[in-house]
A and B are shown apart, each in its own frame.
Chain A
Amino acid sequence: QQQVKQSPQSLIVQKGGISIINCAYENTAFDYFPWYQQFPGKGPALLIAIRPDVSEKKEGRFTISFNKSAKQFSLHIMDSQPGDSATYFCAASTSGTYKYIFGTGTRLKVLA
């Protein structure tokens, strides 16, 4: 059973555009929501994370928007660059468990 649903599966954006990736979860016990970025041949790397006590978190060009009532969260990449081309995974976990439930990933391509 897929507990974190991620969309879209793939995304093509022009350089300078905004990339938006969405995730929805079912388990209301989740309280930590990280995003991971993976380049080909590398492992996923933590990009940014949020807890449900805030609705938005921004780090540079990357922003997480969180909607607790809708059980949804999204990653926005502003001014997307070709170097942002990678696979992005959302995830969720419950404090104290250390186990992440990942989404299926979004392959982002930013055209130069």
Chain B
Amino acid sequence: EAGVTQFPSHSVIEKGQTVTLRCDPISGHDNLYWYRRVMGKEIKFLLHFVKESKQDESGMPNNRFLAERTGGTYSTLKVQPAELEDSGVYFCASSRQGAEGYTFGSGTRLTVV
């Protein structure tokens, strides 16, 4: 079974630009999550999709962040406009309904300069 795929693996953008991160979950996993780790800090929850619906977006920092999940398959996380404090590693994870434990992707390292 293919794992959770994220791309790009790295992105360096200037403050004020737009960046879109993509996540392809494991096929058949209805649950999809986005998390972020800022350097040296905890991995912090951003939001949770069940299929194409946002179940919990309580961790989204502000309205510069927009997440979508097209047809309940892949998901994108757009940051517009990017600020310096948005730098970090963005992780996507997926799980089957009712399962405990996630499968994480390798992450996208975003650097805003």
Contact = CB atoms under 8 A, between A and B. Distances in A.
Interface of A: 2, 4, 6, 32, 34, 36, 41-46, 49, 89, 91, 97-105
Contact of B93 (A6, A41, A43): A43
Contacts of A46: 101-103
Given A46-B101, A99-B56, A104-B40, A41 B106 contact: yes
B108 to A, nearest CB: 11
Contact of A43 (B4, B56, B95): B4
A41 to B, nearest CB: 7
Interface string B29-55: 001010100001111110010000001
B100 to A, nearest CB: 6
B106 A99 contact: no
A59 to B, nearest CB: 13
A91 B101 CA distance: 11
A100 B106 contact: no
A93 to B, nearest CB: 9
5 contacts: A46-B103, A89-B43, A98-B55, A100-B102, A104-B42
A98 B96 CA distance: 11
Contact of A49 (B41, B45, B55, B101): B101
A12 B100 CA distance: 31
B105 interface: yes
